[in-house]
Structure 1
């Protein structure tokens, strides 16, 4: 294990992967990731203690005019007397049971698990030699990431983790604008350090630049995670696309890939906003996706609620069907779904989250054969409704109907998922319409049978409009799966 930045660079110089994009592009997307399709994300940390607003509480409680600013004063007192750091003793997590969490996620059908190791607030959820502000030394006095890793591996899930520290360069800075507990001088090792002025966070060249001291610390923290927990996948939130991070991203990626080679594992990095070179990791689209199939593999991450990634007392939960449609749309377009759940501050998982996860698992136990291990078909789907390309598009409130179909291929079969059966007893798949010299269908080969997943073979025939299939009604208009068995 590397103990210094110099040692990280020396390992990379001697390893198979070097800190340049051409070398790093040789790591393929892990096969297990392409087959898994569905994972669980958890945002849990100090920001959950107030159970208010969202996971940006540590920033917003220091901005006058923000609801979190007023809430903090009303609940805890002025920020000069009770700052964000004073939430640490309240974060004791008496109900945290890693095995219970992971059992719930596995029952939901997840194949991999991504707990957040460090969020923008800078509190590490793992044992660290680089800062005393971590969950093993403070708060719950437990190595949260270590316990979750062991629980995931024991349950047969792939263990992954994420780091969101890049934004900590500026995340706490507004506390310097009034009389709060965030005061200069701040030094490396201080919880709030460095709290620099907040830039235009989409400006790739914004100043003040992160310093070498800060970037070295960022690199060491990520490499410590890599060495101690051996994740099969890393995830990074935005702002690492800033120009200052580029050489450090290359060093970190090379170190990760070299260490994985020693472990005998294929690993990958999920990233946003073109932070990595195009073929050096896995593009991630937050709360969104693509309009068409893509030749590259990708992931969308979204949350079980529309208004926060952590648990709050006013979550706007998504409907289970909406989440299942997001999964089907991603898989049909050559991607995965990473679904976030926010545990409560005490370590328990709320009943609504449990219900939704249970419903997802029930659906996947019936319909998963066209999901897990599948590939995209020649068409991603058909119908009038389709998400617009880009981030945050799953907040647009699309209404899918029985004409909206998503296709996958697996086991030599084609799978068609009707996104919202609308209580109907028959559907038409236009991609399979009868061959016409003037209008060739997407599929033109003998079909042996059509089976409704979880049911039985159903009546079908092909005419000029398409494959006409009789279906059995399902509860709650869940997406309905059909297996088209080819001769």
Structure 2
């Protein structure tokens, strides 16, 4: 029978001991240094962590990927393992027609079918590097309870089933070999089957509890996949245990959390953070923790906005996670993808507001990243190779931009409005670095076109700049320009078009 949700209290001393366990204290540094751990599992101590190290502020673009058992049916979306149990859902109908009733062919039965036979970690890492990403890595575990690493905690992992390979280990080696930082994303806070209310399973439980279905099984192995166990045991041994396992074995530079993290008891969230930050210190890593909702303090974590972004300059570094597709986050048959222009414009808008983009791609179950997704990545990477000085290691200027296109307010609730945004060459976004201001026009500039950047007008900027040079990146033509207090900076574009996706004007000011 499904257990009820228990309110748990964990002694601080137990958590402190758990959070400070190490394989050996001298693995990376001597024992004396290990004794001086900087962080204890309390918010005051954890708040001393620099949540946004300079490398992260400079990075601007990372890539991750939803890839797992849900990639096998390639239907609906990555929530396939949940909706296959609901008889009125199209995914249930698809499952019955193709695999049989979920009581006879459960989600765990996809494990032998997830072969990843064409997976090449080195090729993936090279692709991410060529796309201009500065960090990359997997969704280590989605809501479904399947670990994408060699796990001793659960038999439902890529070494013991499916590919029979340590997917996360191969990716860590390949990605770091390309000089990129390594990210692991976790969604498994939703995996625990929580209490029922009036016979209705709570929305934060990924798997429904239906009699005679695999998620209700008393088989200990199946319980590890479907989260059907006593909560305190699950919190400590499964949720926190898996975090510790990935930290110890793969040393991620970034750990990213999906929503429902707030339903993990606070004591365990503190224990995770102290363990991770102390381990990162032993590895000489400036670690980053990213969260999606109000479940970790912002003085020790980064705010993430799913499929959305700010419509003003962020006072702190923040992140958007968005997918390259127009639909599912995991691969599905006939999955459409965004245009390179739309993805690039999203990146530029985010960077102009002190943000970082985490872009999702959707590999097939066999380990191939579809060519249409690769084409988008490579075209963005080509632009960044030419004009990346306007993106990497930049900051927001006094204004993020000008033009008719305005972003809506809100988080995920407005994600559809964000996905429908289309920028044009009437929209400008600004970044700055040292004594350079970059005006990035969201599209192609017509030859000899006269452009006025009104953000340089005195009424807007207040403190007029002294401009020494104006140039279009990608053109060696001398640019005609004038600076007016009333109108701003007016200039004439080169005689030949430069780029059809976005055009960068570099304005150098006096030191």
Q: Is the shorter-chain TM-score for this pair beyond 0.5, marking a shared fold?
A: yes
- The 5 Å alignment of 1:251-290 reads 251-290=271-310
RMSD: 2.2
Judge conservation of contact 1:96–1:348 (CA < 8 Å) in 2.
Answer: yes
CA gap 1:178/1:470 in 2 versus in 1, 3 angstroms = farther
Q: Does 1:177 align with 2:199?
A: no
Tell me the distance in 2 between the aligned counterparts of 1:228 and 1:385. 45
Q: Which sits farther off after the overlay, 61-70 or 149-158?
A: 61-70
Q: Tell whether 2:470 aligns with 1:470.
A: no
Mapped partners of 1:440, 1:14: distance in 2: 50
1:404 maps onto 2:427 in alignment = yes
Matched with 2:149 is 126
Moved more, 456-465 or 403-412: 456-465
In structure 2, what is the equivalent of residue 16 of structure 1? Answer: 38
Name the counterpart of 2:509: 486
Which of 420, 428, 431 aligns to 2:443? It is 420
Q: Which residue of 2 aligns with 1:429?
A: 453
Deviations 1:304-357 (A, max 9, x none): 013111111132321211111111111111110111001111001101001100
Deviation at 1:375, TM superposition (A): 1.2
1:108 has 2:123 as partner: no
Q: Is the 8 A contact 1:27 1:266 kept in 2?
A: no
Q: Secondary structure at the match of 1:116?
A: strand
Q: 2:254 aligns with which of 233, 236, 253?
A: 233
Tell me which residue corresponds to 1:61: 84
Matched residue SS, 1:23:
helix
Name the SS of the counterpart of 2:505 in structure 1.
strand
**Deviation digits for residues 173-222 of structure 1 (CA, Å, limit 9, x no counterpart):** 32x436533333254763444348xxxxxxxxxxxxx7211110211110
Separation in structure 2 between the aligned mates of residue 459 and residue 138 of structure 1, nearest angstrom: 64
Does the 8 A contact of 2:62 with 2:359 survive in 1? Answer: yes
Query: For residues 440 and 352 of structure 2, what CA distance do their matches in structure 1 show?
Result: 10
Aligned CA distance change for structure 1 residues 274 and 143 (closer, same or farther; 3 Å): same
For the residues of structure 1 that align with 2:62 and 2:315, how far apart are their CA atoms? 21
SS in 1 for 2:191: helix
Quote the residue 2:196 is aligned against: none
2:223 partner SS: coil
**Pairing of 1:199-238 with structure 2 (within 5 A):** 211-216=231-236, 217-238=238-259
Dislocated runs of 4+, deviation >6 Å: none
Decide whether the 8 Å contact of 1:172 with 1:195 is kept in 2: no
Structure 2 match to 1:206: none
d(CA) in 1 for partners of 2:440, 2:235: 46
**Partner of residue 408 from structure 2, selected from 374, 388, 391:** 388
Are 2:58 and 1:38 equivalent residues in the alignment? no
Structure 1 residue 446 displacement after superposition: 2.0
Q: CA deviation at 1:476?
A: 7.4
Shift of residue 6, structure 1, vs aligned partner: 7.0
Q: Aligned residues, how many?
A: 465
Q: How does 1:289-300 map to 2 (within 5 A)?
A: 289-300=309-320
Among candidates 479, 488, 498, match of residue 458 of structure 1? 479
Structure 1: gaps (5+ residues):
197-209
- Range with greater deviation from structure 2 (99-108 or 454-463): 454-463
Given that 2:145 and 2:227 are in contact with CA atoms closer than 8 Å, whether structure 1 keeps it comes out as no
- Alpha-carbon spacing, 1:419–1:427, altered in 2? closer, same or farther (3 Å): same
Contact 2:427 2:442 in 1 (8 A): yes
Equivalent of residue 48 in structure 2, options 18, 26, 40: 26
Deviation at 1:465, TM superposition (A): 2.0
Residue 360 of structure 1: which of 377, 380, 388 is its match? 380
- Residues 143 and 191 of structure 2 are in contact (CA less than 8 Å); yes or no, is this contact kept in structure 1? yes
1:334-345 → structure 2 map (5 Å cutoff): 334-345=354-365
TM-score (norm 1): 0.90
Q: Which moved more, 1:44-53 or 1:470-479?
A: 470-479
2: CA distance, partners of 1:138 / 1:345: 14
Question: Which residue of the other structure, out of 223, 235, 238, is the alignment partner of 1:190?
Answer: 223
Alpha-carbon shift at residue 246 of structure 1 (Å): 1.4
